[in-house]
Each structure stands twice: as structure tokens, then as C-alpha cells.
Structure 1
């Protein structure tokens, strides 16, 4: 029988570690796209980079909870014929 040695399970990463890693990768991507002149892409990457920094600094929550209007979940009646 050929058994593979078992590797110990890696500890789960915390949200803070994951955000910090993502921010680091975004910083590297920002440099790459800046060198290519992709201005719009650089803008979006910069926004994500800044948001990750704000989350790590505690200035912004990890996610926003959107409150929904109960009436918005109700089906709408069709408007009927439109007169021009």
C-alpha cells in the first residue's frame, strides 16, 4: 500500500490577514497597470486598495448591511396600456 504522508491542516486565516494580503496584491497590480497606462483600471484598483486600508485601520466596516424596504419586495401591478 502506498500511503501519502499527511500534512497538518493550515490554520484558517483571519479576515484581517486576508484583507492585508489583498491590499498588498492590489498595490502590486496598481504598479503594473500604472506602467501600462490603463487609467480606469488603475482607478478601480486604487479605490479597492484604499478601501482595504480603511478596513484595516478600522475606518470602514468589513461590509455594509443594506436595509431593504419591505414594500420593495411586493410584486408590482402592471401599468396597463400606455397612451401617447
Structure 2
């Protein structure tokens, strides 16, 4: 069953439905990982589940902001130079 999304959310309905579906799948995957005793996977899946819930409730919309994610942090970077393989 797909959870009902917050109707006051600034996110489009289609986005809310997809995130709700992802949240449902994360819950199922978390159970599989728990059965297999893959603790790190359980932790990561539960973190993603929590984030999906926050997105649906409107607590966290910044991770869905459509910005250019390839922009640098404007920190000057210098090349380490040539790497010599022997």
C-alpha cells in the first residue's frame, strides 16, 4: 500500500507518488537486509526511508530542489600533478 502524501506539499503530485512508492520499496528492502543481517544496508535503507518520509511530510524539500548539482562549491582546487606509476 502506498502511503498518502501531504496535499500541502510544494512538490508535484507525480513526484509525491513516486517518492511514496520509493518509501514503500525501501521498507521492504530494509526487511530483506535485516533478515540477511546486513546491518550497514539496514542502516542506509532506513536513512533513505526517513528522508522519503520527510519529503512526503514537507519537512525536507531541499534535496529535491532542481538546481545544477554539478556546480562546484567555488573552492579553488589545484591538480596534484602527474601521478607516476611504476
Report the TM-score when normalising by structure 1: 0.62
- Which residue is equivalent to 1:45? 45
Instruction: Give 1:20 shift.
Output: 0.2
Aligned to 2:64, what secondary structure does the other structure show? coil
Is the alpha carbon distance of 1:33 and 1:77 closer, same or farther for their aligned partners in structure 2, counting shifts above 3 Å? Answer: closer
Structure 2 stretches lacking a partner, 5+ long: 1-12, 81-86
How large is the RMSD of aligned CA atoms in angstroms?
2.7
Higher RCO, 1 vs 2 (CA within 8 Å, ≥6 residues apart): 2
Instruction: Give 1:63 shift.
Output: 2.6
Structure 1 stretches lacking a partner, 5+ long: 1-12, 79-84
Larger Cα-atom Rg: 1
Question: Any runs of at least 4 consecutive aligned residues in structure 1 with deviations exceeding 3 A, and if so which?
Answer: 64-70, 74-78
Report the TM-score when normalising by structure 2: 0.61
The correspondence of residues 10-21 of structure 1 with structure 2, limited to 5 A, is: 14-21=14-21
- Which residue is equivalent to 1:63? 64
- Which residue is equivalent to 1:7? none
